[in-house]
């Protein structure tokens, strides 16, 4: 980026220099013409005066005038030729410098493209492979799932419950709004170090082509920790409505997913794909989610700092089998990883 800025500045400098040189050349020519005109006018006046007083010497003076005009014309042509040669030489040098600069940038761009392709080829497909590659620090990594058009920046947990987890949702302080429609939920939003949603497309790339596990972690306002683990979790493509299939619950939070969310499509306030015959769950509860008959779980609901909200029934971030649907949870996290068989 700095090289591009320097190139732009260099181009602007060249343009400015050329403008100044050309303007100076034109100015010099005009001044020279004015000087010649003035001299000719004075000479003409002198000739007329001389003609009236010294007729015998007219022929000699006329010869001198013609000689002077010829000399001035030659001098002006010589000056213009010299100035144009200097101007051409300066432009040739500047053009060469510009060409060299462009060639240098092109070579750097080619190197960067080749390096990017090399890095993308060697990237892990998920956080499970990051762990297999010998990394053990839970932090942000660049991965490239199969069929994903480009690498994805993700937060990996490489320690918890065997490690290899990729965060797809993180909420813990209410700093990030989750009140968005399909476009944002499709592409993802938030900050990877803070609260965020990874994006339905990215979740599909991670889970749509191989068996995955899902880990949900929940914390209430008394700092009680609960979890829900599912042996099988998959999210379909956009054409499939990002349908979720899930099974194999174990944990301490209770199962608020399997019977009410399994085989449901992702709904937003503008795109109603739920199975509620009386209306739109997303519109009624004001949040995008995998709805079947509404309620039971809503980890994208409103984040409220106090915990019991009877007037916000079902609209808050909740997990019904842990503190009910009137209790706004303090923290919620969703993570996936390729399925690990018990004997692995």
Amino acid 21: pLDDT: 46
Look at residue 155 and tell me whether its pLDDT is greater than 80: yes
Look at residue 116 and tell me whether its pLDDT is greater than 80: no
What's the residue count for the chain? 344
274/245 Cα distance (integer angstroms): 14
- Tell which wins on pLDDT, 341 or 6: 341
DSSP letter assigned to residue 160: G
Look at residue 170 and tell me whether its pLDDT is greater than 50: yes
pLDDT (mean) for 18-43: 58
Q: CA angle at residue 187 from 182 to 188, to 5 degrees?
A: 95
Amino acid 300: pLDDT: 97
pLDDT (mean) for 100-128: 65
pLDDT (mean) for 6-10: 45
Give the lowest-confidence range in 99-113, 114-128, 170-184, 257-271: 99-113
Count the alpha carbons within 13 Å of 68 in the hemisphere toward its beta carbon.
12
Look at residue 241 and tell me whether its pLDDT is greater than 70: yes
pLDDT band at 18 (very low <50, low <70, confident <90, very high): very low
Q: What is the pTM of this model?
A: 0.66
Q: CA angle at residue 255 from 219 to 145, to 5 degrees?
A: 80
Report the interhelical angle of 58-122 vs 2-53 (nearest 10°).
180
pLDDT band at 15 (very low <50, low <70, confident <90, very high): very low
Amino acid 32: pLDDT: 56
pLDDT band at 293 (very low <50, low <70, confident <90, very high): confident
Look at residue 58 and tell me whether its pLDDT is greater than 80: no
pLDDT (mean) for 84-110: 65
């Amino acid at each position: 980026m700095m090289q591009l800025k320097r190139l732009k500045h260099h181009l602007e400098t060249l343009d400015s220099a050329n403008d100044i040189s050309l303007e100076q050349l034109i100015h010099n020519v005009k001044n020279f013409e004015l000087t010649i005109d003035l001299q000719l006018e004075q000479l003409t006046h002198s000739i007329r005066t001389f003609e009236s007083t010294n007729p015998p010497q007219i022929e000699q003076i006329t010869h001198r005038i013609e000689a002077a005009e010829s000399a001035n014309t030659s001098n002006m042509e010589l000056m213009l030729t010299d100035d144009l040669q200097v101007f051409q030489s300066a432009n040739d040098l500047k053009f060469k410098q510009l060409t060299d600069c462009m060639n240098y940038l092109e070579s750097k761009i080619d190197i960067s493209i080749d390096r990017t392709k090399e890095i993308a080829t060697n990237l892990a497909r998920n956080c499970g492979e990051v762990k297999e590659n010998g990394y053990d620090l839970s932090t942000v990594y660049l991965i490239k799932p199969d069929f994903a058009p480009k690498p994805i920046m993700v937060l990996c947990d490489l320690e918890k419950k065997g490690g290899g987890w990729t965060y797809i949702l993180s909420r813990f302080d209410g700093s990030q709004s989750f009140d968005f429609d399909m476009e944002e939920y499709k592409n993802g939003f938030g900050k990877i170090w803070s609260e965020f949603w990874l994006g339905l497309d990215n979740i599909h790339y991670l889970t749509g082509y191989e068996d995955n596990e899902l880990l949900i972690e929940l914390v209430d306002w008394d700092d009680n920790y609960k979890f829900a683990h599912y042996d099988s979790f998959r999210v379909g493509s956009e054409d499939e409505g990002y349908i979720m299939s899930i099974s194999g619950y174990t944990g301490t939070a209770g199962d608020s997913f399997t019977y009410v969310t399994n085989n449901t499509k992702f709904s937003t306030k503008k795109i109603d794909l739920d199975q509620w015959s009386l209306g739109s769950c997303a519109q009624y509860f004001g949040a995008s989610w995998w709805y079947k008959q509404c309620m039971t779980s809503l980890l994208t609901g409103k984040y409220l700092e106090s915990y019991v909200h009877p007037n916000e029934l079902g609209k808050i971030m909740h997990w019904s089998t842990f503190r009910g649907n009137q209790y706004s949870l303090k923290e919620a996290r969703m993570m996936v990883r390729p399925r690990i068989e018990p004997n692995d």
